[in-house]
Amino acid sequence: MATQTTPPSQSNVIGRSVARIDGPLKTTGTAQYAADFHFPNMAHAVPVQSTIASGRIEKLDAAAAQSMPGVLLVLHHGNMDKLYRVVPNDFSATTSEARPPFEDRTIYYWGQYVAVVVAETLEQATAAAAAVKVEYSQTPAKLSTNLGDYAGKRPSVSQRGDAEKAFAAAPIKVDQTYVTPAETHNPIEMHATVAAWEGDSVTLYETSQGVVNHRYAMAQVLGIPRENVTVVTRFLGSGFGGKLFPWPHSALAAVASRRLQRPVKLSVNRTMMFSNVGHRPLCEQRFQLGATTDGKLLSLRQDYINHTSLIDDIDEGCGEATTYLYSVPSLTVTRALAQRNVGTPSPMRGPGAVPGLFAMESAMDELAVALNMDPVELRLRNDATKDESNGQPFSSRHLKECIETGAAKFGWKQRTPAVGSMRRDGRVLGWGMAAASWGAYRFPCAATVALEVDGRVTVRCATQDVGTGTYTIFAQVLQEKTGLPFERIGVHLGDTSMPEGPMSGGSWATASVLPAVSSAADSVVKTLLQVANSTAGSPFAGVDPAKLQLTAGRVHQAGEPAETGVPFEKLIAMARLSRISADGNTTAIFEDPKAKGLSLHSFGAQFVEVEWEPQIARLRVSRVVTVIDGGRIINPKAAANQIKGAVVMGVGMGLLEQTVYDPRTGQPINGNMADYLMATCPDTPEIDVTFLDYPDLAMGEYGARGIGEIGLAGVAPAIASAVYHATGVRVRTLPVRIEDLLQSRIREA
């Protein structure tokens, strides 16, 4: 954290748009992703998947596979090494599926791994995997086609006032059910593990959004000491939450490698990714809004249910944003889990908040229609001045400004409210908007900064760059503290042999790493100035370190130009040191007295225009204006890139994405990039991103909160509202499809 010894900022690099320092490695193909690691004598593993969703393995015949060319090993329930579960609810060591692979003969979901074949080549392993014969006894599967028949418990998540009574008495009511489908994370980089043992220690080359957690979890799963597990993730081709915690393939690769005493690579192919590495679960949410005739909310009730697997109870948390976004005296949120024969769900960009906001902001739009009130005006009338779920003040909330800024940039004033009333170039226009929010978090982080005798400054931290610019943020802080150009700054991430850093998830990586790097850099500079003072032969020998400073890489007398000073590496050499290093730490936000009693959230507003050609039921998102209140933005270029990507993902969520399970087998039937539709470049609208850039000093000296998830929040409901405005069709089950649009009574543009 900042102290009075903090030297003045070297540059305005914090808050400036800079290109990602790892960009050239990626554009030249030299960045090493998990599956890019190759080792001499490496073998290849290919899993065999269950072709039923529910039942039991009666017989597994690997004889034919075992005798095929190049096959080294076939692992299955009958010959698997002992694997262990992790301690439940220990958030330092979390796995995705509680059940280790092959733990029993039961089949819980279609695609579950039932065996893994290891061979000299990928082709040999693939061929042999197809030759493993499995006989099952099937039991009726509970498939995730809908959740409407759920009759179980609905525990309360949040409660204030009497929502039931207030709703009954409210003059204006909205009572609707909203459905968001299962969606599959589709990062461009597929999941993979390369496992290599040396003695009784293993190195796992992973595509992990949390190398430290991966290490802790895999040490428990494998039953070996933590220090015997090293996890390496140099680069990620993104994850969207699907790579937060280890999936079963990591253990399969580790066991196969230990058995063979050879490095083993296991790549999860795209189709497997639809069944074995998580998804956003199907959610059904009933929303009841009660309001006065002038649009003041009286009551809000949200009853949500999401599917989960038979193995794990995963609560999507659709109430994430419900309890504090608006001012409403009576509120009830309940949750429910419906167990289904599906793989275990996992967080996906904005878990809970994103489907929750689809429902809530759609309901708000319906309320605006019922009131005959402008949707912007309805939001402004119900703005909250404190977090009404706990009475805490917000650390920094500018939702109103987000909405007003967005409305102005979008030209919302021109909107005519009647359905189908706006036209342009032979098309109907629909304009919709939604508010957005996402929690702000900061987790512990340690980092080591070193001034090296070769004239470089380096930082080491076992966090990882999910692809969004974390490497660059470290470099920006070091440049600010030392004045060195990026060419002389080395950032080393993604290796658990380094000091422990945070997961890249929940939009918290930036806020978590900044204090650690900053304080380590401050300490290192302080030590350097002391070395300048105490080293024989130093031009500053005996000079009070408080009167020295480091500028542009040179130590000099305060008040004198940097050119009069000495390059820091010369002083390090004079002192016969290899480096001067120091550690820095970030504390968790919930342990920070500065944040105590504050409600910490990011906010945003999404404004969407759709173009609708009723004659052919063609609808495209043409324009999006996004305004984000995400604290101080450290690198606006990378930040805008994240938000734009999130908006494109929102177009997919609104109009395209849905994992479809076969109604008989439970197989994700559209498990490939041609059949699972995501937005393509021609589907990408014009996107205007604005950051309000108010520092949130409860988060740390830089005031950064975090972005990423917030860019997706609110996009889908804004699209659905724009669709209603254009077509008159209210779509409450995503995605909005041609089937829905054909119901429009507007037939001409």
Partner 1 sequence: MQSFSYEKAQSVEQATGTTGKFIAGGTTLVDLMKLGVETPTQLVDVTALPLAQVETLPNGGLRIGAMVRNSDLAHHPAVGKDYAVLSEALLSGASPQLRNMATTGGNLLQRTRCPYFRDPSYSNCNKRNPGSGCAAIGGHNRMMAILGTSDACIATHPSDMCVALTALEATIQVEGPKGKRSIAIADFYKLPGTTPNVENALEPGELITYVDLPAPRKASKQVYLKLRDRASYEFALASAAVVAEVSGGHVRAVQIALGGVGTRPWRAHEAEAALTGKPATAAHFRAAAEDALKGAKPSSENGFKVELAKRCIVRAMTMASA
- CB-based contact 468:592 (threshold 8 Å): no
Part in contact with partner 1 (CB under 8 A); list of ranges 101-109, 311-319, 610-618, 633-641: 610-618
Q: For partner 1, which residue of 620, 637, 688, 694 counts as binding (CB under 8 A)?
A: 620
Kindly indicate which of the ranges 123-131, 306-314, 550-558, 562-570 contains the residues binding partner 1, using the contact rule CB under 8 A.
123-131
615 makes contact with partner 1 (CB under 8 A): yes
Is 356:320 a contact under the CB 8 Å cutoff?
A: yes
Q: Work out how close the CB of 419 gets to partner 1 at its nearest, in angstroms, rounded to a whole number.
A: 20
Q: Do 314 and 89 contact (CB within 8 A), yes or no?
A: no
- The residue from 151, 418, 536, 616 that contacts partner 1 (CB under 8 A) is 616
Token digits of residue 52: 């039923």
Q: Among all chains, which residue has been given the structure tokens 């109604």?
A: 663
Binding residue (CB under 8 A) for partner 1 from 1, 552, 617, 749: 617
| Cα–Cα distance, 73 to 332 (Å, whole number) | 55
Give the nearest distance from C-beta 409 to partner 1 in angstroms: 25
Rounded Cα distance between 25 and 519, Å, is 28
Q: Which of residues 87-116 bind partner 1 (CB under 8 A)?
A: none
Report the C-alpha dihedral over residues 116, 122, 124, 126, rounded to 10 degrees: 50
Query: Which residue in 11, 51, 392, 527 binds partner 1 (CB under 8 A)?
Result: 51
Q: Which is nearer to partner 1, 418 or 681 (CB)?
A: 681
In the complex with partner 1, which residue's Cβ is closer, 558 or 742? 742
Q: Between residues 576 and 664, which has the closer beta carbon with respect to partner 1?
A: 664
The angle, 0 to 180 degrees and rounded to 10, between the axes of the packed helices 715-727 and 353-371 is: 30
Beta bridge partners of 427: 424
Q: In the range 720-739, which residues lie near partner 1 by CB under 8 A?
A: 737-739
- Cβ proximity to partner 1: between 134 and 493 the closer is 134
- 482 interacts with partner 1 by CB under 8 A: no
Q: Could you give the CA distance from residue 552 to residue 230 in angstroms, rounded to a whole number?
A: 36
Residues 641-680 within binding reach of partner 1 (CB under 8 A): 655-656, 660, 662-665, 667, 669-670, 674-675, 677, 679-680
In the set 316, 569, 709, 739, the catalytic residue is 709
- Tell me if 346 sits within 8 A of 505, measured CB to CB: no
- Member of 123, 135, 454, 686 binding partner 1 (CB under 8 A): 123
- Whether 213 and 93 have beta carbons less than 8 Å apart is answered as yes
CB 247 → partner 1: shortest distance, Å? 21
Considering the complex, state which of residue 206 and residue 657 has its C-beta at the smaller distance from partner 1.
657
**Segment near partner 1 (CB under 8 A); pick from 8-16, 245-253, 339-347, 615-623:** 615-623
Phi and psi at residue 728, to the nearest 5°: 80, 0
Dist. CA 344–CA 100, nearest whole Å: 12
Compute the least distance from the CB of residue 76 to partner 1, in Å: 18
Query: Does the active-site annotation cover 709?
Result: yes
Amino acid identity, position 95: T
Sheet containing 192-198: give its strands across.
71-76, 113-119, 43-49, 264-267, 192-198, 201-206, 229-232
Query: Between 125 and 144, how does the x/- string for binding to partner 1 read (CB under 8 A)?
Result: -xx--x--------------
- Total Cβ atoms within 10 A of residue 487: 8
Q: Contacts with partner 1: how many residues (CB under 8 A)?
A: 32
Q: Which of 138, 485, 742, 745 binds partner 1 (CB under 8 A)?
A: 742
Nearer to partner 1 by Cβ, of 293 and 615: the residue is: 615
Q: Is 618 in the site for partner 1 (CB under 8 A)?
A: yes
The pairing of beta strand 337-339 with beta strand 297-308: parallel
Distance CA 192, CA 101 (A): 16
Q: Please, what is the end-to-end C-alpha distance for the chain in angstroms?
A: 59
Task: Sheet containing 554-557: give its strands across.
Answer: 548-551, 554-557, 566-567
Closest distance of CB 550 from partner 1, Å? 51
DSSP string, 473-517: HHHHHHHHHH---GGGEEEEESBTTSPB---S-TT-HHHHHHHHH
Whole-number minimum distance, CB 682 to partner 1, in Å? 4
Min separation Cβ 450 and partner 1, Å: 45
Residue 218, classed as helix, strand or coil, is helix
Nearer to partner 1, 51 or 66 (CB): 51
Binding residues for partner 1 (CB under 8 A): 51, 123, 126-127, 130, 615-618, 620, 655-656, 660, 662-665, 667, 669-670, 674-675, 677, 679-683, 737-739, 742
Q: Which residues participate in catalysis according to the annotation? A: 709
